[in-house]
Amino acid sequence: MIKNFFKTLIIFASIIFLSKSVLSENLTVATPHDPSVDPHWLYLGPNAAYSRYIFERLIDRDENANIVARLAESWENLDDLTWKFNLRKGVKFHDGSDFTADDVIFSIDRIPNIPNNPASYESNVSMIESVEATDSHTLVVKTKNPYPLLLRRLSGVAIVSKSNVEGSTTEDFASGKVAIGTGPYKFKSYTPGDNYQITVNNNYWGVKPDFNDVTFKIMPDGASRVAALLAGDVDILEGLSPSSVPAVESKDGFKVAKRASARTLWLYVDTQNDNSPFVTDNDGNAMSVNPLKDKRVRKALSLAIDRDAIVSKVMDGLAEEANQVVPKGFFSYSENIPENEFNINKAKELMAEAGYADGFGLTVHAPNDRYVNDDKIAQAIAQMLSKIGLKMQVETMPKAVYFGRLNKQEFSLSMIGWDNAFTGSSLMSLSAAFHTKEEGYGSWNAGGYSNTAFDAEVEKASAAFDMQEYEGHLKRAMEILIAEDQGAIPLHSQFVTVGTTDKVDYTPRADEAFEVMLVKKAN
């Protein structure tokens, strides 16, 4: 009797085992992020990454941040202000309709016109003066100013189907009704907070991906994702925390794909408001002056942060110190900016010199589900700053709340991690996050930094077609921002880590975006 029972058990076990070991066409991904199925809604890295499956751009960036042609086959500069794009012919949307120049014009028009968008893609199209279709597959784009980075900007403009999307709302995307693009995958289903499923587009014009059906299991908790991978519930896991890397690497049948990313974390400092919202005196009362406007105080903050400890202890070595807002060795990295110094005594002296020997109260804000160990870094920073006499508090919140408040300048000292792969240089971070707020600039300037010399360099850089000149202006701007003004406090550049079973291979992207098309069946 018992023998029989065991026999049946073994048979069942082997059936289950066999069915799992058959190389399947399906891929299951554990991810911390919910998608915004609407590719023009809430401009955050994970959303832009998700949109790459269903939708395509005219031009995209590959895993090494190089420009690749997608819906545009070729392009040329007619003059400094005019660009001509020849669109790919014979491309069809998922519903069978033809892709034409009208869809591109519609998509570019739609981006700035979505109401209540907490983080808009507008900065990617705001330099465009006009778009005209000379025929169904030729576009002429005119920019307001000479804009050499237009191609990279267009890699942030997903093309939606005009006939479907016209008159629809963001909710219609999430329900799948108008989630119709030209990409390698089609929308299948989306249950918010639980899972998102896509299925292969058999009529895709380009290279077919390795997997037919992909399910994203949305698991915000890092430990659960690791457990799901090790238990065999998922094939690949996005957002592997550095502390879990050894747990995955040491297990047979699992591996970790790593790569230094182009994302640099820094702290915005409120250099604009006279009454900064989260600066108080030592008793918690509002202050009539904002100590953060004093350059010496900002220098002291930077001196008090032990980045080496953050890298080794919080990031488990999977990060690299940053002394400016691009990673070391990146295009437009300035060698003239001195290495970070960790010196508490010097920081205290500077605080005393500025008249704050007894410190003041300050809250550091950070998201808790966006960057690698973001909330832990914020706590470590608070700890370090409290050593120079500041009364520190930490407040962390989900990204959906955080970035909305950040863009309303509601914080005094706040964390952000900027992906520099988008422009392949520091231009986007400098122009969006530090240039004085005005038409086309400063849309992410949450610290209110403003310096006319800096602005001039950024403007020159964004108009420069000559690469050497372009890089020179960017370097100079970075020197003004960091070495002279300490308008931001650089922290570190993080690594991308993705855990997989050994049945699949994955090549991480420099911009950290997860991409199913880069998941290959292992041989």
* Cβ pair 30, 219 in contact under 8 A: yes
Quote the tokens at residue 243: 């502390």
Q: Which of 384, 428, 474, 518 binds other proteins (CB under 8 A)?
A: 384
Q: Which of 140, 309, 337, 483 binds other proteins (CB under 8 A)?
A: 309
Query: Binding to other proteins by residue 280, rule CB under 8 A?
Result: no
Query: Which residues make beta-bridge pairs with 95?
Result: none
How big is the chain by its Cα radius of gyration, in Å? 25
- Angstrom distance (rounded) from CA 237 to CA 456: 43
Between 131 and 362, CB nearer to other proteins: 362
CB within 8 Å of 146: residues ≥ 6 apart = 80, 81, 463, 465
**Residue closest to 286 by CA, chosen among 412, 137, 444:** 412
Quote the tokens at residue 492: 């570190």
From residue 225 to residue 244, the character string flagging contacts with other proteins as x (rule: CB under 8 A) and all else as - is -xx--x----------x-xx
Between 243 and 507, CB nearer to other proteins: 243
Site for other proteins in 389-448 (CB under 8 A): 392-396
Between 141 and 230, CB nearer to other proteins: 230
Between 126 and 393, CB nearer to other proteins: 393
Q: How far is the CB of 395 from other proteins (least distance, A)?
A: 7
Could you tell me where the DSSP H helices lie in 144-274?
150-154, 162-165, 170-174, 222-230, 245-249
Site for other proteins in 256-275 (CB under 8 A): none
Q: How far is the CB of 227 from other proteins (least distance, A)?
A: 7
Query: Binding to other proteins by residue 253, rule CB under 8 A?
Result: no
Between 175 and 386, CB nearer to other proteins: 386
Could you tell me where the DSSP H helices lie in 321-478?
344-353, 374-386, 399-407, 427-433, 452-462, 467-478
Query: Binding to other proteins by residue 489, rule CB under 8 A?
Result: no
Q: Determine the straight-line distance between the first and last CA of the chain, rounded to whole angstroms.
A: 43
Q: How far is the CB of 241 from other proteins (least distance, A)?
A: 7
- Angstrom distance (rounded) from CA 347 to CA 300: 4
* Cβ pair 272, 420 in contact under 8 A: no
Helix (H, G, I), strand (E, B) or coil at 338: coil
On the CB side of 410, CA atoms within 13 Å amount to 11
Q: Which of 382, 498, 504, 513 binds other proteins (CB under 8 A)?
A: 382
Q: Which of 275, 383, 484, 522 binds other proteins (CB under 8 A)?
A: 383
- Angstrom distance (rounded) from CA 416 to CA 264: 8
Quote the tokens at residue 477: 């701007």
Q: How far is the CB of 252 from other proteins (least distance, A)?
A: 16
**Distances from the Cα of 195 to the Cαs of 189, 211, 230, 373, 506, in angstroms?**
8, 17, 19, 23, 21
Distance of CA 264 to the CA centre of its chain: 10
Query: Which residues make beta-bridge pairs with 499?
Result: 237, 256
Q: How far is the CB of 322 from other proteins (least distance, A)?
A: 18
* Cβ pair 498, 452 in contact under 8 A: no
**Residue closest to 326 by CA, chosen among 505, 493, 103:** 493
Query: Binding to other proteins by residue 313, rule CB under 8 A?
Result: yes
Between 215 and 241, CB nearer to other proteins: 241
Ranges assigned E (strand) in 224-381: 236-238, 254-269, 279-280, 319-321, 361-367
Query: Binding to other proteins by residue 375, rule CB under 8 A?
Result: yes
Residue 215 has phi, psi (to 5 degrees) of -115, 125
Q: How far is the CB of 421 from other proteins (least distance, A)?
A: 28
From residue 445 to residue 484, the character string flagging contacts with other proteins as x (rule: CB under 8 A) and all else as - is ----------------------------------------
Between 368 and 443, CB nearer to other proteins: 368
Q: Which of 72, 380, 416, 446 binds other proteins (CB under 8 A)?
A: 380
Between 67 and 227, CB nearer to other proteins: 227
From residue 173 to residue 212, the character string flagging contacts with other proteins as x (rule: CB under 8 A) and all else as - is ----------------------------------------
Between 243 and 436, CB nearer to other proteins: 243
Q: Do the strands 67-69 and 254-269 form a parallel or antiparallel pair, or are they unpaired?
A: unpaired
Q: How far is the CB of 225 from other proteins (least distance, A)?
A: 10
Between 64 and 383, CB nearer to other proteins: 383
Residues that bind other proteins (CB under 8 A): 221-223, 226-227, 230, 241, 243-244, 246-247, 306, 309-310, 313-314, 368, 375-376, 379-380, 382-384, 386-387, 392-396
